[in-house]
């Protein structure tokens, strides 16, 4: 395998990490909708951290290796329409993802406050934060952007 084949393989693996992180958060989005206690909310924290790590590796790996490949491979150029589209979608996805993170950070924050105050029972306020419709909307939009990037990468319109 050549160096560029390795880079392509890592680029694709980074894309898998990104989709894995996004899917993991969909599972958590569904799971957290029934959770109204601080302990159960905080118990999802380590799993969410795996999702964050996967998304971090995925975002970094796809952009760095993708830009490298655009320069390294014959037949591709960084100013190709489909590559520019992918870069723009990546930036939009990053901005939307940040919104998702902010929306879902409110639940664990409230859970910590409740726990510190000695309230370990069910909380309607915590349940409402865990069921954030803003978070669901932004996560759906982020997923749509991810799907568009995958479509762009496979069809390579204009290439």
List residues near another protein by CB under 8 A. Answer: 1-2, 4-6, 8-9, 11-13, 15-16, 19-24, 27, 31, 40, 43-44, 46-47, 50-51, 54, 73-76, 150-151, 154-156, 159
CB of 25 to another protein, least distance (A): 9
CB of 23 to another protein, least distance (A): 3
Task: Write out the two tokens for 56.
Answer: 């971090």
The smaller minimum CB distance to another protein, of residues 22 and 130, is found at 22
The smaller minimum CB distance to another protein, of residues 24 and 112, is found at 24
The enclosing H or E element of 66 equals helix 45-72
The smaller minimum CB distance to another protein, of residues 1 and 117, is found at 1
CB of 39 to another protein, least distance (A): 9
**Exposed/middle/buried for residue 65 (C-beta within 10 Å: 0-12, 13-18, 19+):** buried
Task: Write out the two tokens for 21.
Answer: 């992180």
CB of 97 to another protein, least distance (A): 16
Grouping H, G, I as helix, E, B as strand and the rest as coil, residue 77 is coil
The smaller minimum CB distance to another protein, of residues 30 and 91, is found at 30
Q: How far apart are CA 58 and CA 129, in angstroms?
A: 27
The smaller minimum CB distance to another protein, of residues 48 and 103, is found at 48
> Residue 124: how many CB atoms within 10 A of its CB?
8
Task: Write out the two tokens for 121.
Answer: 């029972």
CB of 66 to another protein, least distance (A): 13
> Residue 97: how many CB atoms within 10 A of its CB?
23
């Amino acid at each position: 395998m050549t160096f560029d084949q390795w880079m392509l393989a890592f680029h694709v693996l980074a894309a898998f990490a990104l989709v894995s992180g996004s899917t993991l958060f969909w599972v958590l989005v569904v799971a957290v909708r029934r959770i109204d206690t601080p302990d159960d909310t905080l118990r999802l924290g380590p799993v969410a951290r795996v999702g964050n790590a996967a998304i971090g590796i995925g975002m970094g790996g796809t952009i760095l290796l993708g830009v490298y490949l655009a320069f390294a491979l014959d037949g591709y150029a960084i100013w190709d329409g489909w590559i520019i589209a992918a870069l723009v979608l990546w930036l939009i996805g990053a901005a939307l993802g940040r919104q998702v993170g902010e929306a879902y950070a409110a639940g664990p924050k409230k859970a910590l406050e409740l726990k510190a105050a000695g309230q370990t029972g069910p909380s309607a306020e915590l349940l409402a934060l865990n069921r954030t419709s803003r978070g669901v909307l932004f996560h759906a939009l982020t997923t749509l952007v991810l799907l568009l990037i995958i479509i762009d990468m496979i069809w390579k319109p204009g290439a």
